[in-house]
Amino acid sequence: MAGQEQQQPQPRDTEVEEEVPVPPAPAEGQASASTQGVDDLLDEIDGVLESNAEEFVRAFVQKGGQ
Amino acid sequence: MTAGSDPVLGGGLPAGGAMRVMGSETEYGIHAPSAPGANATMMSARVVQAYAQVTRLRAAGGAETRWDYTDEEPLHDARGWTLERGQAHPSQLTDQPPVLDAEAVALAYGRDELELDGEDESGSLLMNMVLGNGARLYVDHAHPEYSSPEVTNPAAAVAWDAAGDLVGLAAVRRLASDTELPAVNLYKNNTDNKSVSYGSHENYLMPRSVPFGDIVRGLTPFFVSRQIICGSGRVGRGQDSSRSGYQISQRADFFEAEVGLETTIRRPIINTRDEPHATADKYRRLHVIIGDANLSQVSNYLKFGTTAMVLSLIEAGLAPRIEVHEPVAALQAISHDTTLTAKVRLQDGRRVTALDLQWMYHEAAAKLAQDTGVSDAVDGDGHTNAVLERWATTLTQLDSDRPAAATSVEWLAKLSILEGYRQRDGLQWDDARLGLVDLQWADLRPEKGLYYRMLSRNRMQRIVDDADIAAAVTEPPSDTRAYFRGRCVSSFSKDVVGASWDSVIFDVPGYGRLQRVPTREPLRGTKALTGGLFARHREAGSFLAELLGTAPAPPPA
C-alpha cells in the first residue's frame, strides 16, 4: 500500500518538522525568567478566575455521561 | 483509488505507522452559573440550536440536516454477541433519537419555551445536526457532544477536534447574547468532581480480521500507562473527590472493569461496542473510552498518534508481550502518582513504571515503522516520524526535564498553575480555589479558560496553526468520506434531509422517493474522487444524477 498516501494539502502538513523551541525565548536568565513568568501568570489568572470560588465549584453539577 | 482493496493493510493508507482512519468525540461539561438548576438536556439542546443559528445550515422546512439512525448498533459486542435491548441500561440505547421530554422543558424554563423555533413537526426539539466540516453536533445524554469528522492522521485529528471547541465557543457566544435566557458555559473536561464523569472518546478503524483478544492484550498495558503523556490532570481523588490531592487523569478513577460493552456504568478499559459505521465484514471501529479530553495539542496529538501506532503493532502481531497484573488498580495507581515513580507488577513478575511501559511500546513501534519504511524522513508517510520523535522527546522530558514537559503535557501544565498557587498562597489541595483552577482550565472561552491563557502566553506548544483550526470549523478533511458528507451539507443543505457516518439522504424534487447515498468506505468520497463532481453541479438533482449514474432528473412538475 506504500505510495498511496494521501497528498492533499491538509493542516497535517503544518505539523512541526523539528522540535519547536520551548518555551519561546525568554530573554533573561532561564530560571529567574521562568519564576517571574509564573508570578505574572498567576497575577493574570487572579483577574480571570470566577469570584466566589467555593460557590462556583459547588454549583458545577453534571448529569451522567458516557 | 483502491480504498478498502486490502483491508488487512488498513484500506489504502500506508500501514505500520501513525496513519489510520480516526476521529474524536467530546462531551462537554455544561453549566449556567446564573441558573444552576437548569435542565442539562435542555441547555444542551440550546447549544445545538444556537450553533444552527450561527451557521444557518438550514434545510427546506427550517430543519437542519438530521441524523440518520439506520446503521446505529450500540448493543453489538465485538466479542461476538448482541445485548438484548431489555437487558441494556437505558443510556446504552443510542440508536434512538432522544426526544426531549416536554415536561422537562417546562420545568426548566416554563411553557413558553416549547414555542422555540427549533421545534419540528413532531413537537420535539432539534437535538442533532451534521456540520459542513463533516462533524456531528448533538445532545448526548445530558451533554452537548461534538463528534469530529473522520481524518487519516493525528495532526488532522488535533485540528478537527480543536475545531469542535470553536464550534462550542460560537454557541456559547450566541447564547450569551440572548438576554432572555441564562448564559451557558462549556467545559472540555470529564468530571464534575462530585461522582459524575462524561466521556471523550476516540475511534480508530481496524481490519475486522484482527482477533479482538489480540486488541485487548496489546492495548491494555498501553492504556494503563499512556495517561502520563495525555492525561489532563484532576484535583481530587476518588470518583466523588472525597480524598484530596492531584492526579494525572480525569477519568482513571471512573474505570471499574477490564473489558466490556458499557460506557456509562462499570466503565471498561477496553470497550467492546461494535458499530463499524462502515462495511461490517471488513472493518471494526475500535471505540476507545478511556481517554481524557485534551486541550493541549501535544497531548491530543500523542494520544491519537501513539494509539494508532500501537494498533499497527497489534495488527502486525508485534505488540510487546507484557501483561499488567490487575490493570484497573494499576491504572489508578499510576494516575495517583505525579512523581511517575510508582511501579506496577507485570504477570511475569517484573515491576515497571509507566515510563518503562511507554518506552517498551515506543521501541516496538519505532522498529515496526522502520521495517515498513513509514518513518523514513524522506520516503515515509509524512506523519509517523514526527509522532515517534515527539513521543520520545516527551518521555525523556517527563523523566528529566519536567518544566519542559509542562509546555506540552496537559496534566503537568495544569499542575504548574496549581503548584504556583499552593506556593504563593499556601493553599491546601482541598481549597476551593484549586478546584476552580481545575474547572476553569477547561472553559472554552479564551478570556476565561486557563489553558487558553497559557496558550496566549506561548506557554503551551502548538501542533497546528490557529488558522488551520479555524478553517477546520467549516472545511471537511479532504481525504476521507467526511469530505463528501460535509460538502453535501454545505452545498445542498436544502435537499439533504439526513446524514450519518455512512450515509447522506437527499430529498430532491423530481425523484419519487428519498435517495440514500451510502458511504460505507471511509476512504472514498474524498476530494480526489468527488471534488470535481461538487465543482460541476450547483443543483442537487444533477449532482445526484451524475453520482448515481441515472438520467438527469426531470424538472419538478
Question: What's the 3-state SS for B478-516?
Answer: CCCCHHHHHHHHHHCHHHEEEEECCEEEECCCCCCCCEE
- Torsion of Cα atoms, B14 then B17 then B20 then B25, to 10°: -170
In the prediction, which pLDDT does B96 show?
A: 59
Rounded to whole angstroms, how far apart are CA atoms B412 and B398?
9
Average pLDDT on B188-203 reads 96
* Rounded Cα gap, residues B379 and B325, in angstroms: 40
CA distance B121 to chain A (A): 28
Total beta-carbon pairs less than 8 A apart between chain A and chain B: 185
Per-residue confidence (pLDDT) for residue B245, from 0 to 100: 97
> In terms of Cα–Cα distance, which of B413, B468, B474 is closest to B442?
B413
B501 band by pLDDT with thresholds 50, 70 and 90: very high
Whether residue B329 has pLDDT greater than 90: yes
Q: Which of B289, B393, B440 sits opposite A50 (nearest CB)?
A: B440
Mean per-residue pLDDT, B42-68: 71
Contacts of A5 in chain B (CB under 8 A): 13-14, 19, 381-382
Choose from A18, A35, A62 for mutation: most chain B CBs within 10 A: A62
Residue A50 C-alpha cell reads as 470566577
C-alpha distance from B493 to closest chain A C-alpha (Å): 25
Across the range A19-39, mean pLDDT stands at 52
The residues of B annotated with a catalytic role in the active site are 140
* B350: DSSP letter: -
Over range B58-79, report the average pLDDT: 60
Contact across the interface for B421 and A42, Cβ inside 8 Å: yes
Q: Which chain B residues are Cβ-neighbours of A39 within 8 angstroms?
A: 420, 424
Helix axes B410-425, A30-48, angle to 10 degrees: 80
Average pLDDT over residues B30-52: 92
Nearest CA in chain A to B288: A66
CA distance A28 to chain B (A): 16
> Is the Cβ of A46 closer than 8 Å to some Cβ of chain B?
no
**Among candidates A19, A49, A60 on the partner chain, residue whose Cβ is nearest the Cβ of B31:** A60
Cβ proximity of B418 and A49 under 8 Å:
no
Q: Do B453 and A41 touch (CB under 8 A)?
A: yes
Q: Name the pLDDT band for B489 (thresholds 50, 70, 90).
A: very high
Q: Would you place residue A35 in the very low, low, confident or very high pLDDT band (cuts 50, 70, 90)?
A: low
Q: What is the mean pLDDT of chain B?
A: 89
Å from A66 to nearest chain B CA? 4
The interface predicted TM-score (ipTM) is 0.87
pLDDT, position B77: 73
Nearest CA-CA partner of B218 in B260, B267, B269: B269
Closest-approach residue (CA) in chain B for A55? B432
Please answer whether residues B524 and B152 qualify as being in contact, where contact means their C-beta atoms are separated by less than 8 angstroms.
no
Mean pLDDT, range B310-318, rounded to an integer: 98
- Chain B residues inside the 8 Å CB shell of A13: 382
pLDDT tens digit string along B216-254?
999 999 999 999 999 999 999 999 999 999 999 999 999
Is residue B4 predicted with pLDDT exceeding 90? no
**Nearest one of B196, B177, B199 to B188, comparing CA atoms:** B199
A8–B479 CB contact, under 8 Å:
yes
Q: What is the per-residue pLDDT for B55?
A: 85
User: B122 pLDDT exceeds 60?
Assistant: no
**pLDDT > 70 in chain B, percent:** 86
Task: Read off the pLDDT of residues A44-60 as tens digits, 9 standing for 90 and up.
Answer: 999 999 999 999 999 99
Query: With bands split at pLDDT 50, 70 and 90, how would you rate the model's confidence at B126?
Result: low
Q: Is A31 on the interface with B (CB under 8 A)?
A: no
